[in-house]
Amino acid sequence: MAIQKAEVFVLKTQPYRSSSLILTFYSKPFGKIRGIAKGVRREGEIRGAVYELFTHLEIVFYEKTRSDLHLISEASIIESHDPLRARLETIAYASYFSELVDLVTEAHDPHEKIFELLDFAFHFLPSLATEHLSRLFEIKLLHEVGWLPYLKACLGCRETKFEAGFFSIQQGALFCSRCALQWPDARPLDADVLAVMRYYIAHDLESSMKFRTTPQTDVQLAKLMEQFLLFRLNRTLKSRQFIHEIKPALASS
């Protein structure tokens, strides 16, 4: 077994037997990895805060070649991200980002930009508009793993000179008004929504967060992303459903 070291974010924890945890991490050099940390639980409680969700760690692990469950031997905290756990809203959105990364990425398929995306989101979630950051996170993540379509041209005729278009959830593609007639599920995509998606893909995180959008555009983009993820994942994310449930309480607080 090779000994490896990596910076990671804790995406998911699962109790194992009486004193161990099975953990899902997203790492900079290896992508998503899973490991077991032995002797870190006592009477149902985690000893210390090392393996709390969202924590930025440096871990040392024994990489197993016949299993995707590696043995964690050491872990030290780089940043705990305690502010994320201070409010229900930030817990909910950080959980959503973690669950989404876990579901759309493959084990041992490294994407440094996804690690940087998590780092950015966990740092700025307590101070930024949560829904705005969510749309940016979704689009950046889905683009990085190759799920978002090529948005500069119609998939059918390759026409590029149109501002608004039609988006097919099933095809995961953008069409012009002529080619959209061939796809019954293709729905109009507002020019402002398309412009936001294109901007997020083409620009860095800081510039994208400063890009001004209208409430109407935000609502349309949120609906589009939710429908697209539901179709691709064939499930509703538990964390996203929780966000919907707590929104009335957040709005009144």
Compute the average pLDDT of residues 137-144: 96
Domain boundary among 80, 107, 128: 80
* 207 band by pLDDT with thresholds 50, 70 and 90: very high
> Which of 23-37, 43-57, 145-159, 237-251 has the highest average model confidence (pLDDT)?
23-37
| Percent of the chain whose pLDDT exceeds 90 | 75
Of the candidates 80, 83, 103, the one whose C-alpha atom is nearest the C-alpha of residue 91 is 83
Same domain, 71 and 166: no
Residue 200, CB-side half-sphere exposure with 13 Å CA sphere: 26
Same domain, 41 and 161: no
* 1 band by pLDDT with thresholds 50, 70 and 90: low
pLDDT at 4 over 90: yes
pLDDT in tens, 163-201: 678 999 888 889 998 899 999 999 999 989 999 999 999
Same domain, 92 and 76: no
Same domain, 106 and 10: no
pLDDT in tens, 56-93: 999 999 998 788 899 999 999 999 999 999 999 999 99
Same domain, 75 and 92: no
Cβ–Cβ < 8 Å for 215, 223 = no
99 versus 149: the higher-pLDDT residue is: 99
Which pLDDT value is given to residue 42? 67
Same domain, 32 and 58: yes
Of the candidates 101, 95, 196, 97, the one whose C-alpha atom is nearest the C-alpha of residue 144 is 101
Cβ–Cβ < 8 Å for 173, 155 = yes
Same domain, 110 and 196: yes
CATH number for 64 = 2.40.50.140
Domain boundary among 50, 80, 110: 80
Which pLDDT value is given to residue 222? 94
From the number of C-beta atoms within 10 Å of its C-beta (0-12, 13-18, 19+), residue 84 rates as buried
The total of structural domains in the chain comes to 2
pLDDT at 218 over 60: yes
Domain coverage including residue 67: 2-80
Domain boundary among 31, 47, 80: 80
Same domain, 236 and 156: yes
Same domain, 211 and 247: yes
Can you give the chain as a three-state secondary structure string?
CEEEEEEEEEEEEEEECCCEEEEEEEECCCEEEEEEECCCEECCEECCCCCCCCCEEEEEEEECCCCCEEEEEEEEEEECCHHHHCCHHHHHHHHHHHHHHHHHCCECCCCHHHHHHHHHHHHHCCCCCHHHHHHHHHHHHHHHCCCCCCCCCCCCCCCCCCCCEEEECCCCEEECCCHHHHCCCCEEECHHHHHHHHHHHHCCHHHHHHCCCCHHHHHHHHHHHHHHHHHHHCCCCHHHHHHHHHHHHHHHC
pLDDT at 121 over 60: yes
CATH number for 185 = 1.20.1440.120
Determine the Cα–Cα distance for residues 120 and 137; give it in Å rounded to an integer: 9
* 251 band by pLDDT with thresholds 50, 70 and 90: confident
Which pLDDT value is given to residue 160? 86
Of the candidates 78, 22, 17, the one whose C-alpha atom is nearest the C-alpha of residue 50 is 78
Same domain, 140 and 72: no
Same domain, 164 and 226: yes
* Mean pLDDT computed over every residue of the chain: 91
